[in-house]
Structure 1
Amino acid sequence: MTTTTRPAALTSNGYRLDPKRWGELRPVPDAERSDRGALWRRLQRDGYLFLPGLLDRDEVLAFRRYFFTALLEAGVTDPSAEPVIGRDSGRPVDRRRLRAALFDTVVPGPEYEAFCTQPALWDWFGWMFDDEIFLHKRRILRHTRPGEMGIGTATQAHYDLVYLREGTDRLLSAWIPLGDIPIERGPLIYLEGTHVDYLGAEQRGEALPAVSMTADLPALAQQKDRRWLGTDFRAGDVMIHSPYMVHASLDNADPDGILRLSTDIRYQRRGDPIDWRWQNYWHDRDGL
């Protein structure tokens, strides 16, 4: 097992990862970026495509600025710093104002719609699927404060199809860092090779997890004898992954007090079955 060791202090939901079960995500080589067949083969082999710089960095940062400006009155960020920085306020958040800003303004707003359907994404997925495409209306924005640690503070291990069982499995998820997310800021990480474990499991009569698998990422890696894969992300990077690929996130331990902000969206062919439950705007009380 080839391992690239990261600092031993990496945690997720408070559980410390084993450096011996860590590896680095591999970016798609430039020679394959415009080769659709090569990308599908890589996706089938690895379960993910790491596409550095797919989006315009300035456009990503512009949306980051918009997002934290919209949440300013909720006390999420330090008002003395530029919103695009996303420096944590260090004080309690006004939950009522946060929910109103997020679910009444940002999520259903034209700025978020424009970001998720920008040509760099829409055209890429249209080209990748080589067909008419469909973007799920339920799209999630996640911001994580530095220093939060414990069960429920980071994304627990899961694969997306557990939550998307009413539609096709021929969809692709895009995880997009909205700003730089170095490893200490808590990016998404992937459990190596697990897309193979769950592909076709339902047809084989195997029981599928009803929801997230576990918050204990080290135990899951040990159980499956796999590595967690991650890297330092920059604004403009995009991760594409199989709906069967197990992933989770690290805790935000940023030493400069910067919030981690990301979004995850899902595209598929328009002609394939669509999970009707995902055709409403995301809300933390939507039951999904």
Structure 2
Amino acid sequence: MLTSNGYVLDQSRLAELTVVPDRERADRQALRERLWRDGYLYLTGLLDPEVVLGFRRYYFELTGAVTDRASYRKVLFDQIVPGPEYAAFCAQPRLRGWFEWFLGGEPFLHKRKIIRQTAPGENGIGTATQAHYDLVYLREGSDQVLSAWIPLGDCPVSRGGLTYLEGSHHRVLEEEAAGRLKHPAASMTADLPGLADEYDARWLVTDYAAGDVVIHTAHTIHAALDNVSTGIRLSTDIRYQRSADAVDSRWQNHWHDQDGL
């Protein structure tokens, strides 16, 4: 049984996230067509697992000794988020180089980069990321921003990884074009089963491994599952775009949970 913010997902509305096959990994046109069709690219093993696990160890070396929320927030927002280790991880050659190749030009990495940690058993509305698409938070720049979701360590389904609403970007694009937006500048809902029924679509899930990366468009609806495992779920989500395109200036400061975005 899978849940998100306490809502039980309907088994008939679940399917497996599709991995980009090896034959397409070096075919930029095929990847672009797949991204347009599916709204995401699931790239297994794009990063070196040891680099990913090394950053995970660094993170817990700094946060593992804190005993209260205030101390944790200070370490996270004063040391880790603005630190050189995080900057290097997000701009590592395997990641930045992939975007440079895929975009066909100089890539631009948004400074606002997010780290999410969820412990086993944490629950309540808002614990898991609610359903949304990224453009509602990035309206002052290009709508061609691409997000990279990176599990910082193995993340089986039970640990609360990201889930995507199948084909949702096509409907979102239509609603954007027609001006029929219902939920601007906010998450859509915590009720993933209800949203799946509304869209007549399935939530796509999988067991992620260290080194995997999912690239998704700014129009693709996604959310997170509850962590019902025995381990901590740690991930980061960052955003690249073409450097020549319009940039949302609000995303050019380091992430903070009080930044209003």
Matched, 1:153 2:145: no
The residue that corresponds to 1:272 in the other structure is: 245
After TM superposition, give the deviation of residue 201 of structure 1 in Å: 2.8
Aligned counterparts, 1:64-103, within 5 A: 64-75=56-67, 94-103=68-77
Q: Distance in 1 between matches of 2:103 and 2:132?
A: 24
Aligned counterparts, 1:123-272, within 5 A: 123-210=97-184, 211-254=186-229, 257-272=230-245
**Which residue of 28, 37, 51 maps to 1:36?**
28
After TM superposition, give the deviation of residue 171 of structure 1 in Å: 1.3
User: Which sections of structure 2, spanning at least 5 residues, go unmatched?
Assistant: none
Query: Contact 1:73/1:97 (CA < 8 Å) preserved in 2?
Result: no
**Which residue of 112, 133, 150 maps to 2:86?**
112
TM-superposition CA deviations, 1:219-275 (whole Å, max 9, x none): 110111100001000000000001100000000000xx2100000000000010000
2:164 aligns to what SS in structure 1? strand
Task: Look up the equivalent residue of 2:234 and give its one-letter code.
Answer: L
User: Which sections of structure 1, spanning at least 5 residues, go unmatched?
Assistant: 1-8, 76-93
With normalisation by structure 2, the TM-score equals: 0.98
Q: Distance in 2 between matches of 1:71 and 1:243?
A: 31
Runs (4 or more) in structure 1 with deviation over 6 Å come to none
Question: What is the identity percentage for the equivalent residue pairs of Structure 1 and Structure 2?
Answer: 62
The residue that corresponds to 2:254 in the other structure is: 281
Q: Distance in 2 between matches of 1:284 and 1:74?
A: 18
1:115 aligns to what SS in structure 2? helix
Q: Distance in 2 between matches of 1:252 and 1:199?
A: 31
After TM superposition, give the deviation of residue 207 of structure 1 in Å: 2.2
The residue that corresponds to 2:14 in the other structure is: 22
With normalisation by structure 1, the TM-score equals: 0.89
After TM superposition, give the deviation of residue 202 of structure 1 in Å: 3.0
Query: Contact 1:186/1:260 (CA < 8 Å) preserved in 2?
Result: yes
Q: Distance in 1 between matches of 2:182 and 2:139?
A: 11
After TM superposition, give the deviation of residue 203 of structure 1 in Å: 3.0
TM-superposition CA deviations, 1:33-81 (whole Å, max 9, x none): 0000000000000000000000000000000000011102213xxxxxx
Q: Distance in 1 between matches of 2:176 and 2:29?
A: 27
After TM superposition, give the deviation of residue 208 of structure 1 in Å: 4.4
Task: Look up the equivalent residue of 2:160 and give its one-letter code.
Answer: G
Query: Contact 1:202/1:208 (CA < 8 Å) preserved in 2?
Result: no
Greater RCO between the two (CA within 8 Å, min separation 6)?
A: 2
Task: Look up the equivalent residue of 1:137 and give its one-letter code.
Answer: K
Q: Distance in 1 between matches of 2:11 and 2:143?
A: 33
Larger radius of gyration: 1
After TM superposition, give the deviation of residue 177 of structure 1 in Å: 0.3
The residue that corresponds to 1:51 in the other structure is: 43
Query: Contact 1:171/1:267 (CA < 8 Å) preserved in 2?
Result: yes
